[in-house]
Amino acid sequence: MEILAFGVQADEQPLIEQAFRGREDVRCLDVFLNEDTAPIAAGHEIVSTSVNADLGADVLEILAAGGTRMVAQRSTGFNNIDLDTAGRLGMTIARVSYYSPYSVAEFAWTLAMAVNRRIVRASTRTRDFDFRLNGLMGRDMHGRTAGVLGTGKIGEAFARIAHGFGMRLLGWDVAENPACTALGMRYVAKEELLAESDLVTLHVPLMPQTRHLIDAAALKTMRDDAILLNSSRGGLVDTAALVTELRAGRFTGVGLDVYEAEAGLFFLDKSLEAIADDTLARLVTFPNVLVTSHQAYYTEDAVGQIVDATVRNVLDYREGRRSENVLVPRS
C-alpha cells in the first residue's frame, strides 16, 4: 500500500524516499494538506503531513471517508490536529516527539545576531557598494541577560550557547531544568524575566494557555532596547500588538521564524501576489525586524531524524505497536 506524503520540500524528498525504500512505497507531493487537497488521499490508508497541514475536523472527516486510517505528522507540534475528532473516527495520529534541538536553538541565535548586528541591512548596502557604518552599531552579548521562556531540550541548547557568550541566564517554565540551573540560570516569574532581559527567546509549545503568551501587556513589560526571538510557534506572540510597539520605536530587534497566520503563506512562493495580510505586510517593513519562513528546524540532521521517526511511526502502526510518538492510538 502506497503512503501519501503531503507538503514535502524539494530538499526533503530524497531523504523520505531513501528512508522508506525497501519498506513502504511512498509518493511525495509538494501541496499541503487542507480541505481542498484532502480528497487526493482517497484510497491511501496512511498519509504523512507537514507542520502546516490543516488537520481540523473537516479535513479528518474527508480523510476518513477516503479510507485513511493513520496520519504520521512530520513535526513535534500538533496544535493543528483535532485529536478528539481523530479519536472519534478511529484514526491513529503520530508525531515526531524529538529531533535535534540544536537546529532550532542555533537558528534562534542566528536571528539574534543578525538583528543585533544589522547583518541584513549591511549586506544590502554592500551589494550597492555602500560601505558606510551609519545605523549598523550593535551590542556585545557578553555580560547581558538572556531570558529563556521554555527550558526543555531546545531552550537548554539555547541557554548553553548564551552561557558560552558569557550572558546572565533567566528562565521561565512549569518545571526547572537541572541542566539549566547548572549553567547558572535563575528561574523567575515571566514578568520579571521580561523586565530584566536584554534578549527574550520563546521555546514553549503552542497550547490554549500559551496562546499570545507575549501579548500587549507582556510587550510593554519588556525593555525598549530588548531583542525578541520566536522560533517556536507563531501563536505565542500577539503580532498586532507587536506591530503597535514597533511603530512606537521600541526594541533593538525582533527575529521571527514563525507567524501566527503563516498557514497558506509559509513554504509557498507568494512573490507575484498581493499579500492580503496587512499585519504581516506591515511587520516586514520595519528595519529592525527579520522574518524567516519557519526554517529553524531545517537542517540535514534534524530533517533526517524527523524522517527516520516518521518511518518508525508507520512501521509501528503496521505492526500494532505503540510508542511515545502516538497521540491517538489505533482503535
> Which residue numbers are catalytic?
233, 262, 294
Strands 70-73 and 92-94: parallel
Question: Cβ of 190: how many Cβ atoms within 10 Å?
Answer: 17
Per residue, the 3-state secondary structure of the chain, as one string, reads CEEEECCCCCCCHHHHHHHHCCCCEEEECCCCCCCCCHHHHCCCCEEEECCCCCECHHHHHHHHHCCCCEEEECCCCCCCECHHHHHHCCCEEECCCCCCHHHHHHHHHHHHHHHHCCHHHHHHHHHCCCCCCCCCCCCCCCCCEEEEECCCHHHHHHHHHHHHCCCEEEEECCCCCHHHHHCCCEECCHHHHHHHCCEEEECCCCCCCCCCCECHHHHHHCCCCCEEEECCCHHHECHHHHHHHHHCCCCCEEEECCCCCCCCCCCCCCCCCCCCCHHHHHHCCCCCEEECCCCCCCCHHHHHHHHHHHHHHHHHHHHCCCCCCEEECCC
Rounded distance between C-alpha atoms, residue 119 and residue 103, angstroms:
20
116-121-122 Cα angle (round to 5) = 90
* CB 247 within 8 Å of CB 283: no
Biggest CA-to-CA distance, the chain: 65
